[in-house]
Structure formats: C-alpha cells, structure tokens
Chains A and B, each alone.
Chain A
C-alpha cells in the first residue's frame, strides 16, 4: 500500500511541474531582451538576428514553443544552453551535486544547532538561556543570507584571513579535504534555517510537555532526562520534520546569491548567469529541477512522518 501512496504522490507532481514550467515559460516569453542578440553581440545586423531567432525557434507562436519544450522534457531533452550550446542536462549534472551538497550540509548544520537549542530553550523557558536563544533566533531569521555571507567573508577571509573566500570552484571539489572551503558558505546558508528550526523545536516542545501523556510519564516516576528524550522529543519532532524539509527546498533555491558570493559553481550561480544572459533553456531547466527536487523532498518528509508517527503509518496501510 505504501507503493500505491508513493505512486499517487509522484503522479500528483506532474500538474505541479507543468504549472511551474508554464509560469516560468510565460515570464521568459513576455520579458524584454533577445537571446539571439546576446549571442551575436551588439554589432549584429537585424537580418542576422532574425535569421538566428528563426533557427532557435523563437519566431514560432507561443503555444508551439511551449509544446516543443514540453515534448522535449518528456524525453529528458531540456534543450541546449543558448550561451554554451551544451545540453542543459550535461551542464546541470556537473553543478547539481555541488548545490545539493551545500544545501544538505546547511540542513544538517541547522538541525544540529536548531534542535538542541530549541530543546534547551523550551526546557528552561523564560531563563536567560531561553531569552538568548530566542534573541539569536530572531536575529538570524531576520538577517538576509547574502548580507551574512558578505560580512562573514569580510571578517574571516579578508580581515582575519583564516578561511578561504572561495567555496567550490574550478580545482576545489566537494572532497572532505576541502572542508575549510565549506565552512563559510554552509554557515551563511544554514544560519536562518537553524534559527527557524530552533524556534519550531522550542514551540513544539513547549506544546508537547503540556500534554497529558507527559504527566503520565512523570506519574510513573520517570526521570526528567528520559521524559524529554523518550516521551517528548519524538512527538515534538513531527512538525520540525516538515519545517526541515521545506527549509531544504528553500536552501536549494536560496543558494543563488550565496553561490555567487563564494564563487561556487553550483546550480544557483548557473541560474544567476542564465537569467542575466536571457538563457531561457537554462532558466527553465533550473526552475523545473528545483520544483522537482522540492516535491521529492516533500514526499520524503511525508514518508519520514510515517516512521515517526504510528498514527500516520496506519493510514498508509
């Protein structure tokens, strides 16, 4: 039955992805600027531009262009980049793992910081520790990550010179030996997620510890430590899982500016350049990829629910 559920969810992704493509495609279609001119340069003659536009299929009606793109996507042909003339699929295969790696590390970091801080904050409600954690939480939720990235860069790379300003780029791979290149980008991107997860954990824990079953556990003579880790945490983590999944999706997309700041050759930076170059196949492809990843992560979160919460597990049966 679990298979049926997963299959149904995968089928439900089709209209979502179609919607994403339609919106992105329409926005690109109506936005000003001409990819052919970008490719030929400012000196190109109008005839040459029109000829290239016809070759690129840009002179066809909207519906034809859209249909052609969808037909391509179905056969996993996402078109060639206008700029490099390489297939989008090949270009993204180089970059996507980098972005996935960055977002993954940021989520791990945010969980490692957010959950313990949230627990401490809830257990010592109204203490100075709680006040401090709540303040930091508010601070890091409010700070935009591109600003944080630049400030971190300025302090640790420029002033102190203890960490490299480059993230991953040519010559710097995602291998573990390059760990010091990961630090600043991961913190930049994970800080707000950590703050959000911390706040979620705190409020969720506060709600759980007021439940009757926690009183039952205390009436059994259970120790406070076990009441937190055995009775409360598993219940409290159910909403935190949702938030963590959403954050992972946001981080994938939100990496655009961070990747640019740290010169990371990932999907975000690729997207940024594509937008500037009016490289429609790449913009469309990345939007589609992010939407797809987001949907998959959501599906994984829902499956993860079933592991945590037996009530949901029995619904899938």
Chain B
C-alpha cells in the first residue's frame, strides 16, 4: 500500500447531454495522505463538486460518466468497485458534508434517526444502540441530545449543518469530503462550524477534502491546496508554499484579487474575463485566453504537470522543463 490514502490520477468526468459534452473534470490529479487536509479551490463551475461526487461514485449517470483515470483509495481503485461494494465505502470510509444544509436533510425523518441510519448501515449495532450513539454524535457537534426526536425544520441552518457533520462522522470515516460546508451559512456561524470541523477532524484523525472558493478557509483549515480551473488542478502545493510562492498565473490572479485590509485600495483587482464554458473549452491551456503571459503555444499545447519544488505541481508552459 502506498503512503497515500487517496490518489486521484488523471480523472476526467464528462456529462453527455443533448447540447453537447460538458467537460466537468479534466485530467485531475492530486493525492492525500492519512490525516491530511486538502483544499480544492476554484470558481463556481470549476468541477469541484463533480470531483467530490466522482470520488463517492455519486455522479448522476446518465448523463455523467467517468471517462478516464483512477481513484485509488486504500490501495483499491474505487472506479473498479461494484455498486454494492461502493455502498460499503460510502458513509463508512468516505463520507460527505453537503453545501446546503437546508435541503440536504430529509424533512420527514427526525434528525436522530437520520444519524442512526448511517450507523445501522455500517456498524454492527442494534437499533437501540444506534440511537444512543446518534445522540452522542449530536452532543459532539453541540446539539442537546433531547433534540434527536426533532425534525430538520426545527433547526437553524448552522444547526442543520452540525447534524450533517454528525451524520458524516458517525462511522468514523477515513476520508471526509466537505463540499462548501459553510457557503450557505452566515459569517459568525461559518466560523463556529469551521472550528467544529477542525476539532472533530483531529479527534477522529480523518483526512479531509475541503471544497471551497474561499482562500480564507484554506488558510484556516487546510494543509495543502489544489487550485482548480476548468476541471483541472492547475496548481497543487503545500498551503504555505502556495501562499508565499504562487506560480500559475491563475493562482497569482486569485491571490491578487483579495483586497488587502491594510492598504487603501480604490478598486478590486479581478482576473479579466470569465471562466470558459465547460462545453466548449479553449484548446491548449484552458486559462490562456485570460492569461497575461499567454503565447501562441499556449493555445495549442496542453501544459503537462510539472513539479517545480517538492510537492509543488504546476500546469503551465511557463514552467515546462527547460522552459522559462
């Protein structure tokens, strides 16, 4: 078995719809060690959620399909598992926290039962024991155990996301995928939920894939970062390396677009242009139409993944071996 808990290699996920083919994830590669946290950062439509669903084998199919690549988890390629085998992985070894806590809980089932459900599925527990463990999980996420009998509509958004976290962590998974878990929450609640996740991650020694478009959350919680653009990780590095020494023009653009509270800035500095249509990606490097350093070659050659420093990978022709 390798040193990695999760090794995603050249993953490509397409959606074949009537209007054409949506290239949601393109040749995505990243790794994750046990206990490590990686942030998948990118704009809306960069393929972050599709990647997460791909790892869970929950991509809606049809129209979605994993067309290429490997997802090696604990030495096994998840893409080769049968649906029945995959069901044993979901919720027990890999679990997921979803973006919108208002809609991700079943409105007609008490929250305690929704937590107990995952325990009954994967742990060898009686119904009564599962219920007891479910209330313990509720306590862990800061909800009074007597509220287990209540329904989702009786909870606030932040509380529901805590329930979502309790469901995800109930079976002590090796890998937790959090898909923008705080996006739908207001800022003070965001901080509480992040603190909770951080604490529980340490307590359960869980690896975490944190999907976000917020570099602040990355700085707060992640060990390393994959910057995603048009379905691909254009730059992957340790958190400190990435913030101090960004290489890819897109990463630099993203970091520059954060306004500095110390300076008296007149206007925001966005990256010019828009994210390309995933149904109609530009040839070569997908970022070249928006890139200040683009040359004619950028429109023709897909940049390979180059290791510019230990553990720091960039997909840009500027850093091609022997290049600039």
Contacts and interface: CB of A to CB of B under 8 A. Distances in A.
Interface of A: 211-213, 215-223, 230-231, 234-235, 308-311, 314
Q: Which size class do B's interface residues fall under?
A: 20 to 34
Given A221-B122, A314-B154, A213 B90 contact: no
Nearest to B170: A220
A221 B88 contact: yes
Interface stretch (B96-104, B133-141, B224-232, B251-259): B96-104
B167 A311 contact: no
Contacts of A231: 106, 109
Tell me which of B89, B92, B106, B164 has the highest count of chain A C-beta atoms within 10 A of its own C-beta. Answer: B106
A216 B106 contact: yes
B153 A219 contact: no
Contacts of B154: 314
A217 B106 contact: yes
Contacts of B108: 234-235, 308-310
10 contacts: A211-B103, A213-B107, A219-B56, A219-B91, A220-B118, A221-B92, A223-B87, A309-B107, A314-B151, A314-B153
A215 B58 contact: yes
Q: What 3 pairs between A and B have smallest CB-CB spacing?
A: A221-B91, A221-B90, A220-B91
B29 interface: no
Tell me which of A216, A234, A314 has the highest count of chain B C-beta atoms within 10 A of its own C-beta. Answer: A216
Contacts of B106: 213, 216-217, 231, 235
Tell me which of B96, B108, B167 has the highest count of chain A C-beta atoms within 10 A of its own C-beta. Answer: B108
Contact of B107 (A217, A218, A235): A235
Contact of A220 (B107, B110, B121, B151): B121
Contact of B98 (A212, A221, A230): A212
Given A311-B151, A314-B153, A314-B154, A218 B103 contact: no
Contacts of B214: none
Interface of B: 56, 58, 87-92, 95-96, 98, 100, 103-110, 117-118, 121-122, 151, 153-154, 164, 167
A215 B92 contact: no
B33 to A, nearest CB: 23
A310 B153 contact: yes
Contacts of A234: 108
Nearest to A216: B104
Contacts of A222: 87, 91, 117, 121
A215 B98 contact: yes
A241 B108 CA distance: 15
A213 to B, nearest CB: 4
Given A221-B91, A221-B118, A216 B58 contact: no
A217 to B, nearest CB: 7
Nearest to B102: A212
A216 B105 contact: yes
Given A212-B98, A215-B58, A311-B151, A221 B87 contact: yes
A70 to B, nearest CB: 44
B121 A221 contact: yes
